[in-house]
Amino acid sequence: VTGRSPVAHRPRRADGQRNYDAILTAATAEFTAHGSQASLGEIASQAGVAIGTLYRHFPTRATLIEAATRDGLTSLLDYADKVSAAGDPVDALTAWMSRAVDYFSTFRGLAQTLTESRNGDNALSETACAELTRCGVRMLEAAQATGRIRADLTAEELFDLLGAAAWVRETSQPGHDGSVRLLAVMIAGIRS
Amino acid sequence: VTGRSPVAHRPRRADGQRNYDAILTAATAEFTAHGSQASLGEIASQAGVAIGTLYRHFPTRATLIEAATRDGLTSLLDYADKVSAAGDPVDALTAWMSRAVDYFSTFRGLAQTLTESRNGDNALSETACAELTRCGVRMLEAAQATGRIRADLTAEELFDLLGAAAWVRETSQPGHDGSVRLLAVMIAGIRS
DNA sequence: ACCTGAACACCGTTCAAGT
DNA sequence: ACCTGAACACCGTTCAAGT
């Protein structure tokens, strides 16, 4: 690997830690309200720090997005274990896909960041990206082993489906969520 | 309807027409190179006009996008007639869907503009939006009449599928086009 | 180690002045 | 009717100065 992605700066002083937390809280609120393109100046302002402090802790927008979605990713990975232990691998896969679309839709623009990361465009850290990929591969292969899911479906294609469904949700008008029906069509389409 | 979308200004003088054409040419090039978020200042500069002239002819970004994709839309509508006359309505639908994804992918960001237009968010003119919708409805209903396409699939959902596939294509890494496989999954999923 | 904020480059949009 | 470009507001990013 030539140039790995920048990572959020871990503070070593108490005031640094306080600012780090305040920025993360403000970022979560702003991303939720205005999507991944929320103004960094506004985030710094809401956190009560100068813009340089934000850049010190989070050198790129992607590091901030990753930190703001870390808990959601952990939760998704835990869910995969839980639903895998429960029983049928195909049911587990479809339940996990629905949950993954929720995660991809944490805020507007996240699906694009995640998909671009998988395709190597700067964006998120390799570790976060690899955790998610390994989880998806595991779910898919277990389901394919039953013979009821198309054997020629790749993990890359599975993640394309998830990103596409999340995109539909975030582009839909607020009232109606088009991703539910879309996911149903997809799940029907990946059966053998 | 409370407030209809602004439309491109039709020039009535020779110099106005020349500038209009130059802006449209420059816009097409810039949208192709940098997506629907291309810099309007750069477009004006490439067209050899001042920024105010661009705004005079195209009061919003959406009017410029619509003008830059007008030929593509006409071509898609013609294709629908051609393929409908050819024979099997299900084959016609699937062929048209593939072509529609091409149109949606004319440049990065167009799929989002089209989908938001359908959902009423400013964006494109009602006429362009209605033409596309009527065409999709016609293709879908003819295919559903054969009984081989799910009767509960709505036109709105069909357009969600198209937008999603186009999004995957524009988000994919340049080499590999993920929308081909995604479309295959979708077409499998909408069969009865 | 960390914070501040000025500085720079860039972009979208409007509008008064001019032909 | 049409064109120009200054003006304003906004945003991202860097970095010298300070604690």
What pLDDT sits at residue B1? Answer: 36
What pLDDT sits at residue B98? Answer: 98
A27 or A10, which is more confident?
Answer: A27
Total length of chain A:
192
- Give residue-wise pLDDT tens across range A31-76: 999 999 999 999 999 999 999 999 999 999 999 999 999 999 999 9
> Do residue A119 and residue B172 have CB atoms under 8 angstroms apart?
yes
User: Mean pLDDT, to the nearest integer, of A71-84?
Assistant: 98
User: Mean pLDDT, to the nearest integer, of A100-128?
Assistant: 92
What pLDDT sits at residue A87? Answer: 86
- Tens of pLDDT along chain B (192 residues) come to 345 678 887 899 999 999 999 999 999 999 999 999 999 999 999 999 999 999 999 999 999 999 999 999 999 999 999 999 988 999 999 999 999 999 999 999 999 999 999 988 777 888 899 999 999 999 999 999 999 999 999 999 999 999 999 999 999 887 788 899 999 999 999 999
Cα distance between residue B170 and residue B39, in whole Å: 19
Full-model pTM: 0.94
- Is a pLDDT exceeding 50 seen at residue A1? no
Cα distance between residue B52 and residue B31, in whole Å: 19
User: Mean pLDDT, to the nearest integer, of A183-187?
Assistant: 98
What pLDDT sits at residue B165? Answer: 98
Protein footprint on strand D: which nucleotides are under 7 Å from a CB?
Answer: 1-7, 10-16
Closest Cα in chain B to A163 = B168
Of A121, A167, A185, the CB nearest to B167: A167
Give, in order, the Cα–Cα distances in Å from B126 to each of A12, B4, B10, B11, B131: 56, 8, 17, 21, 8
Q: What is the radius of gyration, based on Cα positions, of chain A?
A: 18
- Is a pLDDT exceeding 60 seen at residue A24? yes
Q: Which residues of B touch A (CB under 8 A)?
A: 112, 115-116, 119-121, 153, 156-157, 160-161, 163-165, 167-168, 171-173, 178, 181-182, 184-190
* Smallest CA–C1' separation from B15, nucleotide: D2
Any strand C atom closer than 7 Å to A49 CB: yes
**Tokens 């009984």 map to which residue?**
B147
Task: Specify whether the backbone of A48 is left (phi greater than 0), alpha (psi in -120 to 50) or beta.
Answer: left
- Give residue-wise pLDDT tens across range B119-174: 887 778 888 999 999 999 999 999 999 999 999 999 999 999 999 999 999 998 87
Average pLDDT, chain A: 95
What pLDDT sits at residue B87? Answer: 86
Question: In the 25-44 stretch of chain B, whose C-beta falls under 7 Å of nucleic acid strand C?
Answer: 37-42
What pLDDT sits at residue A63? Answer: 97
- Is a pLDDT exceeding 70 seen at residue A172? yes
